[in-house]
Amino acid sequence: ADAAAGKVKAKKCRNCHGIDGVAKIPIAPHIAGESEVYLQVQLKAFRTGKRKHEIMSVIAKDLSDADIADLAAWYSSIKFTIEMPTD
Amino acid sequence: ADAAAGKVKAKKCRNCHGIDGVAKIPIAPHIAGESEVYLQVQLKAFRTGKRKHEIMSVIAKDLSDADIADLAAWYSSIKFTIEMPTD
């Protein structure tokens, strides 16, 4: 899989997920740093209809296996660190 | 919604998602910092069967609206920062 190619392909994801994987709208998930396995499983589920969403089902329909692998490689390559809320 | 109560309720999420929302297994998503809206929509989708997963469908079945609100409040309260890969 080619993360750099995935970054270019991420142009079609940008409006909701951002190129950086930080969601731009509340109903979209952050996908920065998600594992390649999880991203591939979800994109393939949207493509086959196992998982449904009015936007993702449409977008995933045209994705090839290579597109999915590259997109998963790109978004999983983004590192993240967390900060637990101080009680 | 009560994030502190959500942190306690997150004990049943811990094995796959961690109390900190950083996935402990590759097939589970990171949920740290996901928006409350997204988390609520997904948990309710698993509860109604709109979204299916062998583990999540079972776990979500017993969640009340208050449980879902508290869990979403907890995980969305975890801050995260990203670091883009240097090309």
The DSSP secondary-structure symbol of B22 reads -
Q: What is the per-residue pLDDT for A86?
A: 86
3-state secondary structure (DSSP) of residue A49? coil
- C-alpha span between B76 and B37 (Å, rounded): 9
At residue B68, the pLDDT reads 98
pLDDT in tens, A15-56: 999 999 999 999 999 999 999 999 999 999 999 999 999 999
Contact: A50, B52; criterion CB under 8 Å: yes
Rounded distance between C-alpha atoms, residue A30 and residue A9, angstroms: 17
Q: Note the pLDDT of residue A41.
A: 98
- A26 in Cβ contact with B38 (< 8 Å): yes
* Chain B residues within an 8 Å CB radius of A51: 51
Is residue B53 within 8 angstroms of chain A, CB to CB?
Answer: no
Residues of A with Cβ-Cβ distance to B85 under 8 angstroms:
3, 77-79
Query: In this prediction, what percent of chain B has a pLDDT beyond 90?
Result: 98
Torsion of CA B43, B15, A84, A21, to 10 degrees: -60
Q: Is the pLDDT of residue A7 over 80?
A: yes
Asked whether B3 and B69 are in contact (CB, 8 A), the reply is: no
**Residue found by looking up tokens 């409040």 in the block:** B73
Of B28, B32, B77, the CB nearest to A38: B28
Is the ipTM reported for this complex over the cut 0.90? yes
> In the CATH hierarchy, which fold is given to the domain comprising A3-76?
Cytochrome Bc1 Complex; Chain D, domain 2 (1.10.760)
Tell me which chain B residues have a C-beta less than 8 angstroms from the C-beta of A76. none
Beta bridge partners of B82: A80
B24-39 residue pLDDT tens: 999 999 999 999 999 9
Angle formed by the axes of helices A65-76 and A36-48, nearest 10°: 140
